[in-house]
Amino acid sequence: QEINAAKASPWPEDMRDQIWGDRLLLRFKMKKEMKDYRNFLEEVVKDEAASKNVTNNNCDETNVAIQDAIPILHHFCTNQLSPYELKELFQLQRSGLTEILKSKYKITSAYAIVFCAVVEQLSNFHH
């Protein structure tokens, strides 16, 4: 279905192919990073749960129930991070997205423009 949707786009074929390729590249690179984020969060939750003697109801000692993980992550964010670090973590300026796409993911094409335009539309969306 995605291929058919891409073919129906109003963009010229070469631009459409570039956007499609960069979209796939970004997804691939970000999926590879998910393991690092998951490991970090699991480490924070597991260490804190162990120090508070939080038990789990399953056989795997590395898993902590989500209802136990939420207050642990809240505690980490409010006690382990400075206000500046917390702001940087949750409040990225929209103008910074283009720079991240360029520097970290090496995406400088029309996809960066489309990506930022969608983010801008979402930021102005009201229920």
Model pTM above 0.85: no
Higher pLDDT, 11 or 30: 30
User: What's the burial of 119, exposed, middle or buried (CB within 10 Å: 0-12/13-18/19+)?
Assistant: middle
Token pair belonging to 49: 């749960």
* pLDDT the model gives residue 61: 55
Name the least confident of 20-24, 36-40, 81-85, 91-95: 91-95
Instruction: Find all residues with CB under 8 Å of 126, minimum gap 6, and list them.
Output: none
Average pLDDT over residues 71-86: 88
Average pLDDT over residues 48-60: 60
* pLDDT the model gives residue 48: 75
CB neighbourhood size of 65 (10 A): 13
CA atoms 31, 96, 13, 124: torsion sign: positive
Q: Reduced to 3 states, what is the DSSP secondary structure of residue 57?
A: coil
Higher pLDDT, 58 or 63: 63
